[in-house]
Amino acid sequence: MKFRYLFLASLAGGLVAALAVVWATDRDAARVTTLTSAPRTPLYWSEVTPATAPLADLPVAALDLRPAARRATPAVVHVDARVVGRDRATVKALFGREESSGTLGGEGSGVIYSPNGYIITNYHVVQAADRITVTTSDRRRYAAEIVGTEPKSDLAVLKVEASDLPYLELADSDTAEPGQWVLAVGSPLGLTSTVTAGIVSAKGRSLSILREPDAIESFIQTDAAVNPGNSGGPLVDAEGRLLGINTAIASRTGRFQGYSFAIPINLVRRIADDIITYGRYRRALLGVEISTLTVSDIDRLDLRDRSEGVIVDAVMPGGAAAVGGLLADDLIVAVDGRGIRDLPELTEIIGRARPGDRLLLTVVRENKLLELGINLQPAGQ
């Protein structure tokens, strides 16, 4: 009798356990079906922040850059710049290429800026060129003319006689962040329509590669592979929008070593639009000599709780800064409410402004905050 009770108890327990397993399996199967069968919109990682979704709740979604590449590639051109009848040593120093025919020149990339044939590239790609030919991704060839250049930002605008050309939507480079995905498109080493991927590594980089003392350098740094021939081509975001113009690499070998640099599109747009409208870049000047704040500046001026900003080294008599009340040794910490960390940030802001624009500068003078309205003057005044 005892054995029979034990057997019945065991049997009942087994039935209960089996029912529990079946219930759990059905529940999990239903949950899996919901997750796998429900339609899901592809999600970029940048659209989810820890503030809105804990790390454990982040959806698993592959980043597909193919749509961005498909959008960008048709708007990219190969630029071939030739020089005829110039001093050979000078031209070789500029372009670094001599062909078997005896002609000299350089090559790079460009991006179509408008459907009626305006193209942006780097100044160093086309400087001193007598004959420029651009080739589209579908192998159409056009003779190009230089509309205007701005050597102090390494930009040039070309024009071809064409219409209905593919072009790119512009991104907002101010909102670019380290870690976001980007693509570089161009003709590295003569390989046309090449796409490479990476992330934004940093913003506001200055390399001192433009020799003029008032050059504008505030590059977007990326680790997308860029090589000779990429110059002038686009840096695009994961949605295929134009984020910058690739212009330089940091390398000990002359080839890509993990560091490439692009001119931010907000600055490019300001300069290109002026060149297209007026034939030249109409630059606004603050009328100062400035530098990034250093430890010696902090000690010299006895600055308290300040480690970032731009120090005013000298003020030009009669310039915009002098008229607006800016003084030597003032520390510029913000412009129009936007914090200023270092020199490249400020030079980009000034470079994007127009003559006559009024900027509100927040400065530290004798450890006190002041706000000064500065009306920018045109270059040459």
Q: Would you give the DSSP letter of residue 262?
A: E
Q: What's 180's DSSP letter? A: -
Strand-pairing partners, residue 264, are 244
Query: Around Cβ 245, how many Cβ atoms within 10 Å?
Result: 29
The CA dihedral of 295, 296, 301, 302, to the nearest 10 degrees, is 60
Q: Which residues fall within 8 angstroms of residue 199, CB to CB, at 6 or more apart?
A: 178, 179, 180, 181, 182, 222, 223, 224
| Whether 264 contacts 96, CB under 8 Å | no
For the chain, the C-alpha Rg in angstroms (whole number) is 29
H or E stretch covering 18: helix 2-37
- Other Cβ atoms less than 10 A from the Cβ of 312: the count is 21
CA atoms lying within 13 Å on the CB side of residue 39:
1
Catalytic residues: 124, 154, 231
DSSP label at residue 98:
B
CA distance 147 to 352: 20
- Unique residue bearing structure tokens 């001026």: 301
List of residues 6+ apart from 79 with CB closer than 8 A:
107, 108, 109, 110, 119, 121, 125, 126, 132, 133, 134, 144, 158, 232
Pairing of strands 260-264, 219-222: antiparallel
Return the beta strands (E) in the chain as ranges: 76-83, 104-112, 118-121, 131-135, 141-150, 155-160, 181-186, 194-205, 219-222, 234-237, 242-249, 260-264, 284-285, 288-292, 310-315, 331-335, 338-339, 358-365, 368-375, 377-378
Do the beta carbons of residue 109 and residue 77 sit within 8 Å? yes
